[in-house]
Amino acid sequence: MRRILLVLAVMMVGSLGVVTAATAQGGRTTIAAPTGGPATVAAPAATVAYTPVANTSRVDPGAKATATVRDGAFDEVTLTDEDGKAVPGELNADRTTWTSTAPLGYGANYTWGGTATGTDGAQVPLRGSFTTVSPSKRIRGTVNIGDNRTVGIAAPIRIQFNDHVVDRAAAERALKVETSVPVEGAWGWLPDEGGGSRVDWRPKAYWPAETEVTVTANLRDVPYGGGAVGAANVTSTFRIGRAQIVKADAKSFRMVVIRDGEQIFDFPASYGLASDPQRNTRSGVHVVSEKFTDKRMVSQQYGYDSVEKWAVRMSNNGEFIHANPNSAAAQGSSNVTHGCVNLSTDNAKAYYDTALYGDPVEVTNTPIQLSSRDGDIWDWTLSWQKWQTLSAL
């Protein structure tokens, strides 16, 4: 019995020695091994996880990219495309999660970079890449008014697309108009023409003279629906010129030009023959779109083929302001034309020299109204309330 008690006492003392030898030193736990040597448990290294998973393809560009570190914190995180352009992003407060803050591009390859430092003090590099899905097509948009142009007070801003845009709201949200003075206006989607969609920005009333305008269309990679996306961003900065308005009262047989509130011309004129609906000049706000020193005009229906001088187009239905010596006797007294506004050669040249793209031509007192069937720029045939309904937003 005495021998058994002695063995138990030795075993208890040995066990107590192992337990009491454990101490915490400098963030590490040191345990005395049975042989007397210390054993150290190291702090864990950093591990990084990615969304989308690294080295995957066909990623949705609308999804956010994230990198998350466990057992450590990020020193720096970068996500760059194949051109070296960095994707904007931000770290959370404890620097354990980085999240992209801007949309990714379509059909692009992105690569992770940067480092994280683990609780063990060692740095871990960020590695890996992923590729976003490619669009079914890229649709390009162009602005009708180029940089540094000066245009008239009725000029609409037009974005013309080279294909059909299904998601018009997405496209419209990417469009912005900035002006040097406050101008109320709105975007309106017009029927597709020439195989592509088109959207115009029109002010509520005519532009204030001398306004500086900047159009920004951030359309690149905007999803248009059906797998199509925007091809590129488009911008333009231009100027509204003097306020010139043509007052074309068919009953007066005159054409009056008002500039900045002052009359500068009052010309004898002849308008379309009222008794023939096919020859009427249309009443309403026309917009000057182009001009020609010489313009060939042809009509099989009425049997003419002639070149007219100083022709200013005011609609796409064949209406021009131009010189016509053949109607000189009627100018100022009767309306005999095929729908154009006829002036003498000298008067037509004088007006031609002042005309700008976007100038309004206000035709009144004719039997038929201008409509969407009569030309390319019919924005002003609609009331402001009706125009606003054409927005997709």
Nearest to 257 by CA among 366, 370, 365, 361: 361
Domain for residue 385, yes or no? no
131 pairs with which residues across the strands?
109
Domain for residue 20, yes or no? no
Nearest to 248 by CA among 231, 263, 270: 270
The torsion of the CA quartet 367, 373, 379, 381, rounded to 10 degrees, works out to 20
Provide the residue range defining the domain that includes 192: 137-241
What's the rounded Cα separation, in Å, for the pair 120 and 28?
11
Tell me which residues of the chain have a pLDDT lower than 70: 1-41
Domain for residue 120, yes or no? yes
At residue 42, the pLDDT reads: 80
Domain for residue 214, yes or no? yes
Pair 339, 258 in one domain: yes
At residue 13, the pLDDT reads: 41
Pair 51, 173 in one domain: no
Q: Is the dihedral of CA 86, 91, 97, 103 positive or negative?
A: negative
DSSP states of 150-213: EE-TTPPEEEEESS--S-HHHHHHTEEEEESS---EEEEEEEEETTEEEEEEEESSPPPTT-EE
CATH number reported for the structural domain that contains residue 369 in this entry: 2.40.440.10
Domain for residue 9, yes or no? no
0.85 exceeded by pTM:
no
Pair 248, 236 in one domain: no
- Domain termination site, one of 92, 117, 132: 132
Question: Could you confirm whether 286 is annotated as catalytic?
Answer: no
Helix (H, G, I), strand (E, B) or coil at 245: strand
- Domain termination site, one of 241, 264, 288: 241
Question: Could you confirm whether 340 is annotated as catalytic?
Answer: yes
CATH number reported for the structural domain that contains residue 61 in this entry: 2.60.40.3780
Pair 283, 184 in one domain: no
Amino acid sitting at position 221: D
Pair 95, 166 in one domain: no
At residue 34, the pLDDT reads: 53
At residue 111, the pLDDT reads: 97
What's the rounded Cα separation, in Å, for the pair 391 and 258?
32
- Cβ atoms within 10 Å of 259's Cβ, excluding its own: 16
Token pair for 38: 């210390």
Query: For the chain, how many structural domains are there in total?
Result: 3
CATH number reported for the structural domain that contains residue 174 in this entry: 2.60.40.3710
- Domain termination site, one of 207, 241, 275: 241
From the list 164, 286, 322, 338, the catalytic residue is: 322
Give the pairing type, strands 89-91 and 137-139: unpaired
Q: Residue 153: exposed, middle, or buried by beta-carbon count in 10 A (0-12, 13-18, 19+)?
A: buried
From the list 164, 286, 338, 340, the catalytic residue is: 340
